[in-house]
Amino acid sequence: MTTLLLALLAAFLYSLSQVSTRRALDHNPPLTVVLGTLAMTFPTVSSMMLALGGNWAWPALPGLVVLVLAGLVAPGTARLLGAVGLRDFGPLVAVPYQFGTRPIIALVAGLVLFNEEVTPWRILALAAIVVGLFWLTSGYKSEISDEKRPDQSRLWIPAMAGVAYAISEILRKAGVSYTDSLTAAWLAGASAFILVTISTILMPGQRARVEIPREWRWILFSGGAAALAQVVMFTALAGGDITVVSPVMALQPMIVMLLAPGLAAAGNISLRSVWKGGLVMTFGAVLMGLSA
């Protein structure tokens, strides 16, 4: 029960971070927002470790490598892809694509790499995700004219963000067995912040895309919520199974659909045009996780 409640709290905090990121993108380019949120996440987790008397229990080398890789994949790479998707399509479309395509990738990988069984429940879950994707895309197309609609081929960007988050989730579950949840969260956040910062410094083209942030409160809010979510999720993974945490995390599209309109972060589409697709995709993603 504790694992379930922690996973629900993490899903809510991550959703809040996504919606806040979309508000920050109204005034800042994606790379500026990502650097700002990572810069907020890192000291927040560090402060929590100090406040809670963390022992900085450094893991053995295998655990250290796994947790650093987890951070590089997500939030490092995934957050940048997710920010671009949020900017282009808004949270009502980008977030369902992130968390709806993840189970499809997991199913294909399981079949190809591990010879997993295709059960009727998984077939039903896959069908729900595909139908949800169709309804979501149809609703999005009906809401925005062809001239103002971003190129739909770019929907691979939020989809790949979802894949990155899924890979990181597996790595985090493996890495948290080597140390406590706070140290694991700190290592993942630190590696992501260092990666993005160094990449920005070394690549002139990326440096040119960084601006002095405006509307700081949304960047701070997003980074703080993501930091708390990261600690809570590591705690949930440390005390429970990924088969419990993963389906609950798949509820994020529905949470975002509840939060985004109230925080004026829905973008240029309305909830009524995409809620059916988002609901069906969420159902499929949760069902896929439960059938694992």
pLDDT tens for 153-202 read 888 999 999 889 888 877 887 888 898 888 888 898 889 999 889 988 88
CA 166, 171, 177, 178 dihedral sign is: negative
Q: What is the pLDDT of residues 1-39, one digit of tens each?
A: 688 899 999 999 999 999 999 999 999 999 999 999 999
Instruction: For the full predicted model, state whether its pTM sits above 0.85.
Output: yes
Please give the Cα distance from 18 to 67 (Å, whole number).
23
Place of tokens 């980074």: 223
Nearest to 258 by CA among 271, 243, 244: 271
What length is written for the chain?
Answer: 292
Do 130 and 124 touch, CB atoms closer than 8 A?
no
Task: Inform me whether the pLDDT recorded for 255 exceeds 90.
Answer: yes
pLDDT at 63: 92
CA 85, 200, 78 angle in degrees (round to 5)?
A: 30
| Residue 266 pLDDT grade (very low, low, confident, very high; cuts 50, 70, 90) | confident
> Exposed, middle or buried: residue 138 (CB in 10 Å: 0-12, 13-18, 19+)?
middle
With contact defined as beta carbons under 8 Å apart, do 17 and 226 qualify? Answer: yes
* Residue 291 banded pLDDT, cuts 50, 70, 90: confident
Helix-then-strand count for the chain, H and E: 13, 0
User: What torsion, rounded to 10 degrees, do the Cα atoms 91, 95, 96, 102 define?
Assistant: 170
Please provide the average confidence, as pLDDT, over all residues in the chain: 86
CB-based burial of residue 146 (10 Å sphere; 0-12 exposed, 13-18 middle, 19+ buried)?
exposed
The residue assigned the tokens 């004026």 is: 264
Using alpha carbons, select from 232, 213, 263, 234 the residue that is nearest to residue 39.
Answer: 213
Non-local (6+) Cβ contacts of 81 within 8 A are 157, 158, 160, 161, 164
Instruction: Evaluate the CA torsion angle 22, 164, 247, 249 in order and state its sign.
Output: negative
Q: What is the rounded average pLDDT of the residues 51-57?
A: 69
Closest CA to 209 of 52, 28, 61: 28
